[in-house]
Structure formats: C-alpha cells, structure tokens
Amino acid sequence: MNKTTHFEDLGAREYKDTWDYQEKLFKHLVDLKGTNAKLPVSEREVTPNHLLFVEHPNVYTLGKSGSEANLLINFVEMQNIEATFFKTNRGGDITYHGPGQVVGYPILDLENFDLGLKEYIHALEEVIILTLKDYGIDAGRLDGATGVWLDPDNKMKNRKICAIGVKSSRFATMHGFAFNVNTNLDFFGYINPCGFTDKSVTSLEKELGRKQDFEAIKMKVKEKFVAVFGMEFL
C-alpha cells in the first residue's frame, strides 16, 4: 500500500479552477485503477495520492443530492454579496466556501490506506477533531450528519465547524472538507447549511474569541493527516 501523498497548498484560487484540477487528478487515478484491475499484481502501477489545500473566494456549492431551495437568495442578490454558485458532483447538500476557511481536497486511493468510504469519512472527521483538541476545543460527531460538530449531544447548542462532502469511484476520492477558521459566518445566513434549518455554524475564531494564525492551522491539519492516515508527504 502506497501512503506517499503529493501535498499542494494552492493558496487562494477560484472554485471552478480547483474543481477542474481535482477532476484531472481524479480521472488519472480512476483510469489507472481500472487498468491495474486487468493486470497481474506484479505488473500493476503504484497509484498516487494527493492532498490539496485551498482558500476559495465566496462561493456556494450544492451536492448532487441537495436541494436548490436551500439557497435562500437569488442570483442578483448573490452578485451583490460577490458570491458565486455551482452545482457539483459531490455528496451532501449546500455549503459555503470563502476566505478564512481551510478547504481540503484529498484525491486518494482508499485501498492504499485500507479504508472503505464510511471509514474514510470518519477519518476526515477525526483529522479536524484532533486539530480542535490541540486548541482546547472538544468536538465530535452528530448522529445522522457528516462533518465535525461542537456540543453534538446538546440539540440546543450543537453547531458545525467543518463540513464534509466527497465523491468516490473505484475507491478513489475527490472533494473533501471545509474547516471554518477565520470565516465570515454571515455568508451562511443566505443558505440552509447542509440542508439544516435548525442548526448553526461556527468557526475557530468565534469559539476562541480572536482571529487565528491561518498558516499555523493549515500546518496543524496537515500534521493530523499524518497521524490519522499515516501519510508520508512529498
């Protein structure tokens, strides 16, 4: 199993450009796995893994099973707040990406990590849970909802700090997670985040009461990928 992972911090980049780049890496991985499946084990090529970090300008993305009704503003209003909208091929409903948010796109061969899809989602959540623990925040999972939540056992207080939505084929993955660090949470007011009408959203800045060192957080998340997945970064 190859746990070597090509890491790229793309910095600030438009959503569609990054999506196209993901699709290119994903297609190569899926095609290679398809070719390998027809070959004897001794002739198969090693499949690559990638982890992309990026920070998007204001954008709303809708998962393939989501409802456009969860976007609460029209396209003229969206222009007024300088946001864009995309229907995507990931799972989940609607979410927001924007400045101050660590977005991670793992394009992985799950067979390299001996993971099924459900275990993979659990591992992504664990990366953020462990990151938050280093900042003194106790986070967890909410039954019936993916992502990372604070106070998940308290219906009156539970709030999401990290959304997760992925696509998979042949145990290859794309899309990933969006971790609110110094995110402007006002933008979540224009949607029903992840389709929920009765749950709120938070950020690390809001929970700790001060703006966070964004680059330091990215390094911390990267470290937790090593701890949880056993990745070796190139």
- Residue 11: CATH number of its domain: 3.30.930.10
β partners of residue 164: 177
Those residues of the chain that have pLDDT short of 70 are 197
Structural domain total, the chain:
1
β partners of residue 174: 167
194 among known catalytic residues: yes
Q: What is the pTM of this model?
A: 0.96
Residues 6+ apart with CB under 8 A from 92: 63, 65, 66, 146, 163, 164, 165, 194
Distance of alpha carbon 219 from alpha carbon 212, whole angstroms: 13
Active-site residue, selected from the candidate residues 194, 201, 204, 217: 194
In terms of residue numbers, what domain contains 114? 4-233
pLDDT digits (tens, 9 = 90+) for 53-79: 999 999 999 999 899 999 999 999 999
Work out whether strand 84-87 and strand 59-62 pair parallel, antiparallel, or are unpaired.
Answer: parallel
Nearest residue to 7 via CA among 193, 217, 234: 234
Residues 6+ apart with CB under 8 A from 56: 12, 13, 14, 15, 18, 97, 98, 99, 101, 103
